Structure 1
Amino acid sequence: MSLPAPPVPAKLREMLTDYPGHIERLQEVLNRSVERSRKVPLMPFDDAISDLEGRLGTFISEARAELVSAQISADSEAITRAVEKERLMFSASFKRHWLDDEPLYNYFMAIGG
């Protein structure tokens, strides 16, 4: 029996609504986490959290690189957008925003906790 894909935490979906590609990338790491958990079912929820944290860290790094590029270009609008994106990605990385997501927790508890 095939399980549905694990849910990206609702708060992250809400925060990243203007970045659907980022939501897809979070979904990808959750899907990989499920596949790993099927092979080695050792603490799948913790593994998924770690994967989300890693991907969110990548988003911060990418946003910082965009900010540097915008600063080099001296484009004030691009700088403003990049600063806001960096702030958003940094905020999204705080687990307190999404760690208590019940659908995500319940999903991973159902596949072996």
Structure 2
Amino acid sequence: MAATITNPNTTYSDRLKNLIEYPETGILSKIFVKDDHTQQNLFCLASGTVLEEHTSAKNATVMVLEGEGSLTLNGEKIDLTPGVLVYMPAHAPHALEASTNLAFWLILSNANQQAE
């Protein structure tokens, strides 16, 4: 289970560098905050980690913080480097590979929410 850093009713301040830590292998996931509508996670992947193709029932936004890798989204390869921003609608097939240690911020939101 991922550690939770804060909750929706508490203010929080820190530097991202203080939160990023890489496992020797695999993935370290930290839930930054979660409420009824969204969840924000920090993902830290060890170099060489592969996530096989899968889908999510939620919309997802990925913001690459550190490292390099590739994301295959709907069959299209996207290079992941610091500053890259990717939006994935719910149910879009995607896979990920970390070429180096890779950190990204993931925001999940309910797919059934309508923009106002």
TM-score normalised according to structure 1 size: 0.22
Answer 1 or 2: which has greater helix percent: 1
Larger RCO of the pair (alpha carbons < 8 Å, separation 6+): 1
Relative to total residues, which structure has the larger strand share, 1 or 2? 2
